[in-house]
Amino acid sequence: MKTRQIGPFEVSAISLGCMNLSHAYGTPPSAEQGERVLLAALDAGVTMFDTAALYGFGANETLVGRVLKKHRNQFTLASKGGMAGVQFDDGIKRVIDGRPETIRKNCEDSLRRLQTEVIDLYYLHRWDKKVPIEDSVGAMSDLVRAGKVQALGLSEVSAATLRKAHAVHPISAVQTEYSLWTRNPEIAVLDACKELGTAFVAFSPVARGFLCDALQDVSTLDAKDIRRSMPRFAPDAYAANLKLLAPYKALAQEAGCTPAQLALAWLLHKAPHIVPIPGTTSVDHLHEDLAAADVKLSPELIAKVEDLINQQTVTGHRYSAQSASEVDTETF
């Protein structure tokens, strides 16, 4: 497996996002299947696993900790705090809370679930706009000094917020959605990362299944699938977006790879500081994704695919108004 750099860590050029083993896309796979995927990734050369306190309200960290603790010295462990499940009278709800005391508690809880003494890369999952970013990152830097965390990251932030945070403590990674159909990082934050020596970790690199040709009918989505609240997956918008798939699949064929591999290879070709973290519940799809690291794309084919799928040709916003209000990323 080819590698890329995130702060002090050399990680597999394509690493694993663990979220959908426990969260977000309807009924998750069994714990046994999750274990199979995690161990297959390790065996295939994946050396960074990305989880969060939020995913499955702790269940994903618990799974990752149980399955991978015997192999802890073989990979970089990334997790996130500042957004987690909180128990209310009417059930567990997602809460964004970037106060220093909450970040400290989130980290302690994550260390326990992950069964480790240190988290290699610890992100602020969302910037809590009620708390200055300098205060949240200051609390995270205390975790570094305490030896509980090795490097810091931010998720879904703008270039301006990254610069403010970086002035408090070096930011090793910014994690944001980035794919052919979500090009927002190209506005400013991708260049800011390059300037500051910050890696850019691309989540949802295959557009939540769209770019793998994995979803033809949105009416089949589970009632709890987060895509049901995303404007691009609304029936009319998705029908329009599906018209892009046939020419996209033709370009994948021209490149000699699968649609998913084309999406991942495109990201790897964009810049050397980008690390995609696709997620999957299938060992076969895992191996397909990882093989994208060896796909070579010509400048001509890259131009064709970028002209086909971009912010002008995709129908619908990436987030609902509520979700958009919770992030700090630049928008077109």
Please give the structure tokens belonging to residue 159: 């270039």
Close Cβ partners of 139 (under 8 Å, ≥ 6 residues apart): 99, 100, 101, 103, 104
Strand 9-12 versus strand 3-6 pairing type = antiparallel
β 83-88/3-6 pair status: unpaired
CB 159 within 8 A of CB 17: no
Reference 243, options 276, 283, 210; nearest CA is 210
Q: Alpha-carbon distance 214 to 211, whole Å? A: 8
Closest CA to 233 of 296, 297, 165, 314: 314
Please report, as a single letter, which amino acid is at residue 62: T
Comparing C-alpha atoms, which of 11, 29, 32 is closest to residue 20?
A: 29
Rounded-to-integer distance, Cα 132 and Cα 92, Å: 26
Query: Are 224 and 284 in contact, with CB atoms under 8 Å apart?
Result: no
Instruction: Identify whether 55 is a catalytic site residue.
Output: yes
Amino acid in the structure at residue 94: R
3-class secondary structure, 174: strand
Q: Which of 25, 55, 122, 123 does the annotation list as catalytic?
A: 55
The residues annotated as belonging to the active site are 55
